[in-house]
């Protein structure tokens, strides 16, 4: 009888689904936070204590607003799952290092309370919360959101307070090369992070390494960043400043918030289409819109608005890309 009992204990009867995984929302969120940490720490090293203050206030306020809303709504407290921490971190990394720190708190409030919990909480939001927070700050305080730290360039005695995209937009490609001394110096600065920009977007190599780790862990699909970044590179090469096929794709692929946006925001599990086909369409559309805003729009950068606009189309893309039902023709 004892042997029969032990055999029965081997079977666990339960309702579906029966797929088991060691992954959880909390594990994924904290892993993403860790992959962003090197780029965030580089931003603090590169820009100074005000950048650290913005990051800390962005994170702490986001976690606080998450706790407060769930407390008011009498919902389970989920601040330990890392999602609010991630929203605050991503928002802070997309802000200028010279921004008054209290604005980061306002951005976190909009991201957590308006963009996330007003839509129903985690898993129900239509738009990427961090980008909604950034977009709201851009509309409300455009001067503060476009004021950058002064950085010493590769050319002796040359100091620039504009981002590379700003220089390109306002002064042209020749002025951009002159600022860095040469194209090779510019590429090196873009890759290693020695340039002006938002706190967490400057160091391309650290962001790419973090994104590759997420691909390795299969938390994101490689098609999304590759298609989005590749689309921007190809289109900016085709529609160059001196005519067709005269653009600088390498510059545009490393400039602005494209790398952090493609790896860490366009891949948001909640706001991106479900199928691989849908995600490729999403990434291609985001790349096209980013290029359109950069080349023809009033802003020098378009990643934030491109991703938000494609978020609007996610339900439509999901409907278009529905997999065929088993046993149904056509």
Distance, CA of 39 to CA of 58 (rounded, Å) = 16
Q: Would you state the pLDDT for residue 162?
A: 83
- pLDDT at residue 156, as a whole number: 44
Domain assignment present for 115: yes
Is residue 153 situated within a structural domain? Answer: no
Q: What is the pLDDT of residue 122?
A: 86
pTM: 0.90
- Is 97 contained in some domain? yes
Burial 247-285 (b: 16+ CB within 10 A, else e): bbbbbbbbbbbbbbbbbbbbbbebbbbeeeebbbbbbbb
Q: Which residues of 8-37 are buried (b: 16+ CB within 10 A; e: fewer)?
A: eeeeeeeeeeeeeeeeeeeebbbbbbebbe
Residue 220 lies in a domain: yes
Q: Do 306 and 183 belong together in one domain? A: yes
pLDDT per 10-residue tile (average), the chain, 330 residues: 50 59 88 98 95 97 97 94 97 96 97 94 92 96 90 51 89 92 94 94 97 97 98 97 94 97 96 96 98 94 96 95 72
Cα separation, 183 vs 154, whole angstroms: 11
Q: Are residues 199 and 126 in the same domain?
A: no
- Say whether both 182 and 291 belong to one domain: yes
Q: With respect to residue 52, please indicate whether it lies within any of the assigned structural domains.
A: yes
Burial (Cβ within 10 Å: 0-12, 13-18, ≥19) of residue 321: middle
DSSP string covering 134-181, please? HHHHHHH-HHHHT----EE-SSTT-EE-S-HHHHHHHH-HHHHHHHHS
| 141 within domain boundaries | yes
Q: Check whether residue 52 and residue 115 sit in a common domain.
A: yes
* 118 lies in the same domain as 179: no
Residues 180, 300, single domain; the answer is yes
Do 305 and 218 share a structural domain?
yes
Do 226 and 279 touch, CB atoms closer than 8 A? no
CB atoms within 10 A of CB 82: 21
Strand 159-160 relative to strand 239-240, pairing: unpaired
Residue 94 lies in a domain: yes
CB-CB contact of 134 with 87 (8 Å): no
Quick: pLDDT tens for 38-87.
Answer: 999 999 999 999 999 999 999 999 999 999 999 999 999 999 999 999 99
Residues 180 and 133 in one domain: no
> Looking at the structure, do residues 187 and 136 belong to the same domain, yes or no?
no
Question: pLDDT at position 327, please?
Answer: 62
Total number of domains in the chain: 2
Nearest to 137 by CA among 146, 150, 128: 146
Query: According to the model, what pLDDT value does residue 322 have?
Result: 85
Same domain? For 111 and 234 the reply is no
329 domain-assigned: no
Can you read off the two tokens belonging to residue 95? 């802000």
Based on the domain organization, do 121 and 185 belong to the same domain? no
Q: Are 131 and 307 in contact (CB under 8 A)?
A: yes
Are 78 and 203 found together in one domain? no
Residues 206-245: b if buried by 16+ CB within 10 A, e if exposed: bbbebbebbbeeebbbebbbebbbbbbbbbbbebeeeeee
Range of the domain at 276: 175-320
- Token representation of residue 249: 């794709």
């Amino acid at each position: 009888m004892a042997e029969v009992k032990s055999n029965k204990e081997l079977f666990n009867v339960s309702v579906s689904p029966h797929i088991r995984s060691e992954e959880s929302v909390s594990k994924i969120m904290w892993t993403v936070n860790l992959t962003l940490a090197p780029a965030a720490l580089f931003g603090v090293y590169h820009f100074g204590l005000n950048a650290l203050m913005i990051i800390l206030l962005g994170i702490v306020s986001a976690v606080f607003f998450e706790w407060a809303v769930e407390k008011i709504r009498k919902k389970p407290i989920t601040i330990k799952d890392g999602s609010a921490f991630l929203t605050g971190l991503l928002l802070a990394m997309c802000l200028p290092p010279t921004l008054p720190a209290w604005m980061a708190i306002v951005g976190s409030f909009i991201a957590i309370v308006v963009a996330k919990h007003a839509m129903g909480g985690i898993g129900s939001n239509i738009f990427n919360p961090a980008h909604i927070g950034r977009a709201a700050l851009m509309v409300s305080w455009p001067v503060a959101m476009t004021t950058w730290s002064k950085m010493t360039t590769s050319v002796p005695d040359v100091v620039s307070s504009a981002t590379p995209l700003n220089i390109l937009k306002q002064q042209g490609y020749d002025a951009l090369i002159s600022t860095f001394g040469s194209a090779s110096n510019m590429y090196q600065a873009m890759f290693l992070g020695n340039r002006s920009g938002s706190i967490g977007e400057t160091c391309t190599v650290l962001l790419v390494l973090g994104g590759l780790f997420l691909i390795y862990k299969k938390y994101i699909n490689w098609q999304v960043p590759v298609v989005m970044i590749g689309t921007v590179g190809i289109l900016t090469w085709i529609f160059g400043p001196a005519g067709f096929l005269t653009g600088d794709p390498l510059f545009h692929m490393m400039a602005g918030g494209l790398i952090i946006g493609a790896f860490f925001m366009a891949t948001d599990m909640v706001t991106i289409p479900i199928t691989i086909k849908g995600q490729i369409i999403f990434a291609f559309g985001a790349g096209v819109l980013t290029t359109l805003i950069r080349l023809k729009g009033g802003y020098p950068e378009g990643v934030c608005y491109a991703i938000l606009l494609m978020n609007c189309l996610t339900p439509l893309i999901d409907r278009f890309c529905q997999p065929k039902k088993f046993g149904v023709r056509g």
